[in-house]
Every structure is written in C-alpha cells, then in structure tokens.
C-alpha cells in the first residue's frame, strides 16, 4: 500500500468536471484508490464519493492506493491535481 497527501490547487476545486477527471484517472488503474478528507474516506473510483468530498481550492486530501499498480496510480493522480486538472487555473 502507498499513501500520500495532496492539496487541491485549481480555482474551482473538485467540481463536476475535475471530479470526473479524477474518477476516470483512478478507474484506469487496477489498484484500489481511496481519498480521505479529514475523517472521511471515499472510493476514488466513485463520482458520488469524490463530489461529496466537496473539496474546494486549498483542501488537503489524503490519497491511498493498494494493488499491483499502486505507485503509478498515486503518481498520476497527484500530477493531475497539481496540473489544475488541465484547466490552467
């Protein structure tokens, strides 16, 4: 298992478009992906879970992945988040 923390930096936070990208990204790996905000942890492959994190800009999230491609999963998700979900802001 591999864990990491990441801060949401894009302007709109995990709104629908960004949440969808995150879910699609997590789903492309065979590993289980979990995302935690505070006490609450959700399945990173669930759009409903990711949306209800209501993670705005500046929110710190914990990432956890377990499986054969766990390292790639975490690295790719972190890149996606750091890249403002490709939204440029």
Catalytic residue positions? 15
Neighbours of 83 (CB within 10 A): 12
- Minimum Å distance from CB 46 to another protein? 5
CB of 4 or CB of 16, closer to another protein: 16
Residue 70 tokens, joined: 């766990």
Residue choice 32, 36, 47, 67 for contact with another protein (CB under 8 A): 47
Residue 23 tokens, joined: 């879910």
Q: At what angle do helices 16-27 and 70-82 cross, to 10 degrees?
A: 160
Chain residues that interact with another protein, rule: CB under 8 A = 11, 15-17, 19-20, 23-24, 43, 46-49, 51-52, 54, 56, 89
């Amino acid at each position: 298992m591999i864990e990491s923390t990441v801060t949401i930096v894009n302007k709109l936070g995990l709104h629908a478009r960004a949440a969808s990208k995150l879910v699609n990204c997590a789903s492309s790996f065979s590993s289980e992906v979990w995302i935690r905000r505070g006490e609450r942890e959700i399945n990173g492959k669930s759009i409903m879970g990711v949306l209800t994190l209501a993670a705005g800009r500046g929110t710190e999230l914990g990432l956890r992945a377990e499986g054969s491609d766990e390292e790639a999963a975490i690295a790719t998700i972190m890149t996606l988040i750091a890249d403002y979900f490709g939204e440029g802001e």
